[in-house]
A = this chain, B = another copy of it.
Amino acid sequence: MSFPAPPAMMGYDRSTSMFSPDGRLFQVEYAMEAAKRGWTMVGVRTAEGVVIVAEKRKTSPLIDIGQLEKVYMVDEHIGAGFVGFGSDGRVLIDYARLLAVQYKFVYGEPIPVEYLTRQVCDLMQVYTQHGGVRPFGVTLMIAGVDEAGPKLYVAEPSGQYISYKAHGLGQGGSQAVEVLQKEYRDDMSLEEAILLGMKAVTTVMEGKPSTETLEVGVVEAKTRKFRKLSKEELQKFLEKLGA
């Protein structure tokens, strides 16, 4: 070999606990690739609450899509979704649920959304710094309402999280973000937020949007309760979108 190989070919990308000469962590960047291959997911935050809209795909005609969950309740006041490696995501959702239950048990009140997010991210960070493991191959979206109002966090495989007003993830993520940037307003009502989220997802999704291929989770600021929209509600919103 008569000239240096490109950095990614010299072994720096084959161990989690190693920096490349330019200070990058390849395994963490590769884990983000896993996340980018997920189905599209969008989150929208307004003063009235937070919304997560997720695309679902019927990969097989006999799949029981009604049982296929893309948006999860973490605690009464928090919902979450993820894109990427399915079982990794489930493990993190379960970890988040455990954290929420423990917090309520110890402090007698609901876990603050950011505190929960940080705890989950601390676990994710550990998997980027120690040998013998790989990073989690998912990007999480955590939506909730607490004393400090509605929150929308996006947590990456590196363990870093960022607070967004609205954001898109997965295969159609960047396109969805364009829709959001054009139409997001700080003073939107919760209904407008739901409609915007659904529009961003349906614009980029592969098949025809329907009550079966969309899942919407909402946490209202007033009630501080997470719930998923029913098929009927979804249908109404779809009609309003003219989809």
Binding site for B on A (CB under 8 A): 1, 4, 8-27, 30-37, 45, 60-64, 66-68, 84-88, 90-91, 94, 118, 121-122, 124-125, 127-137, 152, 158-160, 162-167, 177, 180-181, 184
A18–B128 CB distance below 8 A: no
Q: Which residues of B contact A128 (CB under 8 A)?
A: 87
Chain A interface SS verdict (over half) = mixed
Q: Which residues of B contact A66 (CB under 8 A)?
A: 163
A13–B17 CB distance below 8 A: no
Q: Which of B20, B63, B136 is within 8 Å of A165, CB to CB?
A: B63
C-alpha spacing A33/B23, complex, angstroms:
5
Known: A64-B164, A133-B131. A22 touches B18 (CB 8 A): no
A90–B32 CB distance below 8 A: no
